[in-house]
Amino acid sequence: EAVLKGGLAGLDLVSGDGELTVLTNKFSLDGWQQYVLPFRDFELSGGLKVLTSVKGNFRRLHEARVMHHLSVDGLSAKARNGGEIRNVRGSIDLGPLDSELKDIRFEVGQTQFFVEGKMLKQPDARWLIGFETPSLNLRDLALQVRKIGEASRTAGADFDWGFVEGLTHRILPGGEAVIEQVKGQIAFGGGKVIIPRLRFGAYKGVIFVRSAIDRSGQVPVTAIEVELERLSLARMSSARATPLMEGNLFAVASLKNEGIFDRGWLDRLRGEGSLSVTNGEFRTVNILGGLGRIAQLAPLGSFESGPTRFDDIRCDFEVGERKIETENLVLVSDDFHIE
């Protein structure tokens, strides 16, 4: 049960001006889901402690300055469908001009998050939240977020989670669903969601992402900038018995999409970029050996050496209609140069 104690300071009985402070003990949230509409289908547990300060005219409480400090200890919310947020700890400050998340830690599925953030309420409410985690299982997280959204009835009708889960399998062909050392920021407000920076490790390299989603118009518009730094192609294709290609992948791309996040999202994706693959080889393609089988190029057959090794492959590319196209591919090797 919750126990309240507090103090009333400087109350002027004539004007009504004064200050009130109320402090609770750390009370259990077991069973409190019935009082919080989004969590009606969850089982809540854990502890909460509240400090509330009210300063102003007690005859016009709607004009008084009200501030809350919430301390959360071991809060968990488990849905009937298996979605769960566990071990939420940290503090939340709520004020008339701004709010703040301090040292928030929690677990979703197999991933533990560390979060801090701030919201400015003037002129419009805007949040900026920083987050990080040592490792993140994309497929597990997508499944958990889907279940939590469905149970809390906050999942957007224009968001296709089946497509999201399928996309994670497509972009992680080697079965490497875990990315590491994730650190980023997300801002939202006014119908816009902005990721000013996101960095994480994958395939023995690093990926940087910047993104903005504008939902203020009739059709959502998404802009994404991606930079890949030294990703291992061998690691990306590790599920294959014999990788088609090995090397270190570097790339930058700017992408844009107009429309909701559904199964047609990839059809509408447009953009451009450039890439380079260094110190690699084609494991199943022998370029010189293949050319040597042409009568006029028979002398090249003497250079046949199994896999085709190269120093660099580079090109610019365009993205559209689920295809990546290039017209200026260059391959450089010790033995030959192809444009």
- For residue 268, pLDDT beyond 50: yes
Cα 80 from Cα 68, distance rounded (Å): 31
Taking only the tens place, the pLDDT of each residue in 161-191 is 666 666 666 665 555 568 899 999 999 888 8
What pLDDT is recorded for position 60? 86
Please count the CA atoms within 13 angstroms of the CA of 34 that sit on its side-chain side. 2
Mean pLDDT rounded to a whole number for the chain: 84
Q: What is the pLDDT of residue 303?
A: 53
**What mean pLDDT is predicted for residues 286-314?**
60
Answer whether 338's CB lies under 8 Å from 331's CB: yes
Model confidence pLDDT, tens digit, residues 226-255? 999 999 988 877 655 566 778 999 999 999
Q: What is residue 297's predicted lDDT score, i.e. its pLDDT? A: 47
| C-alpha distances in Å from residue 153, one per residue of 37, 147, 319 | 10, 10, 35
Over pLDDT 90: what percentage of the chain?
43
Question: What is the pLDDT averaged over residues 24-41?
Answer: 87
User: Rounded to an integer, what is the distance from CA 122 to the centroid of its chain?
Assistant: 27
In this prediction, residue 295 carries a pLDDT of 46
Q: What are phi and psi of 43, to 5 degrees?
A: -110, 115
CA-wise closest residue to 313 among 335, 290, 337, 291: 337
Question: At 288, is the pLDDT very low, low, confident or very high (cuts 50, 70, 90)?
Answer: low
For every residue of 255-317, DSSP letters joined together read EEEES-BSTTHHHH-EEEEEEEEEEEEESS--HHHHHHTSGGGGGGGGG--SSEEEEEEEEEE
CA distance 65 to 62: 8
